[in-house]
Structure 1
Amino acid sequence: MGCDIHLFVEKKINGKWLAVKGVNEPEIKEAEEFIENIKARGESADYWEKRIEELRQGTQGYIWDGRHYLLFEALAGVRANHEITPISEPKGLPEDISAEVKDSAEGWGGDGHSHSYLTAAELNAYKWDQTIAREGFVNVHQFKEFQEKGSPSGWCGSVGGGGVRHVTNHKMKKQIEDDFPFGDSSSYYTLVRWEKSLREALGSFCSWSLPELNKLVEGNPENVRIVFWFDN
């Protein structure tokens, strides 16, 4: 079963923590590209066009609205798999939480877990540039990308099925050179390993979300924080 995060931004104003609204620009861009692809196939995009208008109105959770287990591990040690040290183990909800975020958390009841919060100061102090080891199964196109760039843009944790063939990296290279004389190239998968920085792996969270959060700081990173929890 998948795990999702519910993340809100709060800012202390006149001694009181308040929920901050904003627009999640990366999510809107992703939705726009999705709508474009749907229309290119001649299908209806009514649902997504309505959804994108909702996104443009702003939400409390604008800094992040996605599923990235590596991020969950960095924030609170949730879904840990890469042996990185989290910023903090879950702290629970802050005692001075804003009313809006408190209501949302209570609405999840027992389905919400690992509640926590982190200030902008804590987030800024974390070692986002640490190197992590990654691995995954790739198909022929992803393997070619791996050879050219040192890492694939997509991969699977596991892959199976009647037509799937697991081969070594050497075998995959040979099959590519021979233009797959023994079958369809789409059936071949191989396990690859690579390293990259955590910052690069987390993409828009580090390139967009953290800078957006820091725009709210105004000289005191202790007065801005994220409050979050997870559900399965």
Structure 2
Amino acid sequence: MGADIHGQVECRPAYRILDEDDAPWRPAIDLHLLYGGRDYDVFGCLFGVRNHAGLRPLAAGRGLPGDVSTEVRREFASGEGLFHSATWIGWPEVAAADWDEPAERADARVHEYAPVPGGGWELAGKSFQDTGGRPVGAEWTRDGRRFRVARMTRREAVPPDGTWAPVWTVMRALAGVHGAANVRLVAWFDN
């Protein structure tokens, strides 16, 4: 059974407000409008969910923010018994993350590469299989495929031009208008 992500980018408006700390958080855009995939490398790197790659999660297990918007709290509550691992991450944390940070351990999945025309290899997928005790970096070929024991970096898990680029673009734009501290992603998962 797979895990899917749900959530909202929230914003606390900073203009036309005398004291922005008193402004309530508001849902800005549903995550499903920006991202519709199931990428366990992203989920693990950001939130510690299905963290097969062994990356130190940036924002795992925080629960819903205490000041979460009413609409987001209601949406999360609508999946009672189904939703789990609620958490959130602010734009300042995303912007300050060390995207070259390596995982704390080798990926639990072996990386499989297929040959490409003209030579070389292209990542074809990742699978749980016995490494035979091989160390990180070890490679072997079987049935015309190359296999590798790898240790990923955050950038490999969440490439800047990858499927999460629209999420980062929206959060960056909102931060440019309202301030970085006034933008966050609230997320949760189902199985």
Verify same fold: TM over 0.5.
yes
Is the contact between residue 90 and residue 116 of structure 1 (CA under 8 Å) also seen in structure 2? Answer: yes
Residue 78 (structure 1) aligns with: 49
Q: Which amino acid aligns with 1:81?
A: H
Q: Secondary structure at the match of 1:215?
A: helix
In structure 2, C-alpha distance between the alignment counterparts of 1:84 and 1:2, rounded to whole Å: 19
Q: Deviations over 1:33-74 (max 9, x none)?
A: xxxxxxxxxxxxxxxxxxxxxxxxxx4543333211111112
Is the contact between residue 74 and residue 86 of structure 1 (CA under 8 Å) also seen in structure 2? Answer: yes
Q: Secondary structure at the match of 2:124?
A: coil
Computed over aligned residues only, the root mean square deviation of the Cα atoms, in angstroms, reads 2.8
The TM-score, its normalising length taken from structure 1, stands at 0.61
Higher share of residues assigned helix: 1
In structure 2, C-alpha distance between the alignment counterparts of 1:137 and 1:129, rounded to whole Å: 19
In structure 2, C-alpha distance between the alignment counterparts of 1:84 and 1:191, rounded to whole Å: 21
**2:123 counterpart (148, 153, 156):** 153
Structure 2 gap ranges (5+): 18-22, 130-138
Is the contact between residue 110 and residue 150 of structure 2 (CA under 8 Å) also seen in structure 1? Answer: no
Residue 38 (structure 2) aligns with: 67
Does 2:27 match 1:19?
yes
The TM-score, its normalising length taken from structure 2, stands at 0.73
Alignment identity in percent?
26
Deviation (angstroms), 1:154: 1.9
Distance 1:130 1:137, change over 3 A: closer
Does 2:177 match 1:221?
no
Higher Rg? 1
Higher share of residues assigned strand: 2
Structure 1 gap ranges (5+): 22-58, 160-167, 173-186
Instruction: Give the number of aligned pairs.
Output: 167
